[in-house]
Amino acid sequence: MASAGGKPTILLLRRLDSSFATALRERFHVLDFHASGEPLAAFLAAAAAAPEPPRAAIVVGGGSIRADASFLDTVPSLRCIFSTGAGVDHIDLAECARRGVSVANSGEVYSTDVADHAVGLLIDVLRRVSAAERYVRSGSWPVQGDYPLGSKLGGKRVGIIGLGNIGSRIAKRLEAFGCVIYYNSRRPKDSVVSYKYFPNVHDLAAKSDVLIVACALNKWTRHIVNKDVLEALGKDGVIINIGRGANVDEAELVVALKDGKIAGAGLDVFENEPRVPGELFSMDNVVLTNHVAVFTAQSRSDLCAHTISNLEAFFSAWWQVCWYHRLGEHWLADC
């Protein structure tokens, strides 16, 4: 049922830029957690008790708010969860399915930008772009001479963990640089005949110069890059992570970098964001970004349109279900 103003009610559980928030409010009655200033538990309880409780919620991708059984118990009216990220590791999919709660995510909105960012991180690590830039800014060039040489990208054997929407785009970009592409996924891709498939991540690392993590986070991929995989990658190897922080055993990664067991890393994601291991800050062979691979001006605009389209499709279908289940002059309790 719509709110008193005729707009469907939604929960907004992430921060948005002003244009995105305005576009939502033009179409929906928005209950904004961050604008409320309330603790989460109190905010959700108040939303659930509202005369027109929310039917849909927008949650931040990979955020601290988990859409699990406890969350759904608190706001039982919810019938749709929309994640603004590509990953759904923060959403209990089995519990949502059991309760008939629809789940949607950002789809391919970010795929191109994340692929670009992954390649950018790799070039930066190999060619030491950020480190050389700091060297020049510090005034060291005229005093200490040329900065140590980096390594070329062309010809590198690149192993990609997860050849989905993002991983496949990374592969195509790196092919253009003359890289040899290997990959690991749950099963071989029938559509890919030019890339060698490795069913085992350890073996993939052993044959690769670069390991790029582009898989989703779940119980099978948590710490899929562990101590053994890092050792298999070797002292000349580089790791790039644009997946989720917990895909990599971060403590073991820090040790491997400190001990020279791998050559470098480009990291956009971390296990305990926004906290980053302090040891990484002083390492010139490590490039760090703050989980921004997905964000460009264009992707923000696309995400806004994608989010609104998904929510409107959900409410359109929801009203139809309610209409067909109307009993006399009374709506079913769930409508």
Q: How confident is the model at residue 150, as a pLDDT?
A: 96
Q: How confident is the model at residue 268, as a pLDDT?
A: 98
Q: How confident is the model at residue 23, as a pLDDT?
A: 96
CA distances from 40 to 14, 37, 71, 169 (A): 12, 9, 10, 38
Contact partners, residue 108, CB within 8 Å, separation at least 6: 165
Q: How confident is the model at residue 71, as a pLDDT?
A: 95
Distance separating alpha carbons of residues 1 and 79, to the nearest angstrom: 12
Distance separating alpha carbons of residues 45 and 43, to the nearest angstrom: 6
Closest CA to 174 of 190, 164, 159, 192: 159
Measured N-to-C along each axis, helices 18-27 and 297-324 cross at an angle, to the nearest 10 degrees, of 20
For residue 91 the two structure tokens come to: 């959403």
In degrees to the nearest 10, what's the CA dihedral of 194, 111, 201, 103? -120
Q: Which residues are known to be catalytic?
A: 244, 273, 291
Closest CA to 318 of 80, 97, 98: 80
pLDDT in tens, 102-117: 999 988 999 999 999 9
Kindly report the average pLDDT of the chain as a whole number.
91
104: DSSP letter: E
CATH of 9-109+296-324, one of 3.30.530.20, 2.40.50.140, 3.40.50.720, 3.90.1150.10: 3.40.50.720
pLDDT in tens, 224-269: 999 999 999 999 999 999 999 999 999 999 999 999 999 999 999 9
* Location of each CATH 3.40.50.720 domain in the chain: 9-109+296-324, 111-288
Quote the pTM value.
0.86
Q: How confident is the model at residue 6, as a pLDDT?
A: 78
Mean pLDDT split into 10-residue runs, the chain, 335 residues: 71 92 95 94 95 91 83 95 87 94 91 97 98 97 96 98 96 98 94 92 98 95 98 98 97 98 98 95 97 92 94 81 46 45
Q: How confident is the model at residue 321, as a pLDDT?
A: 52
Q: How confident is the model at residue 65, as a pLDDT?
A: 86
CATH class of 111-288: alpha beta
CA distances from 244 to 87, 89, 270, 280, 300 (A): 8, 9, 7, 17, 20
Give me the phi and psi of 124, to 5 degrees please.
-60, -45
Contact partners, residue 301, CB within 8 Å, separation at least 6: none
Q: How confident is the model at residue 239, as a pLDDT?
A: 98
CA 33 to chain centre: 22
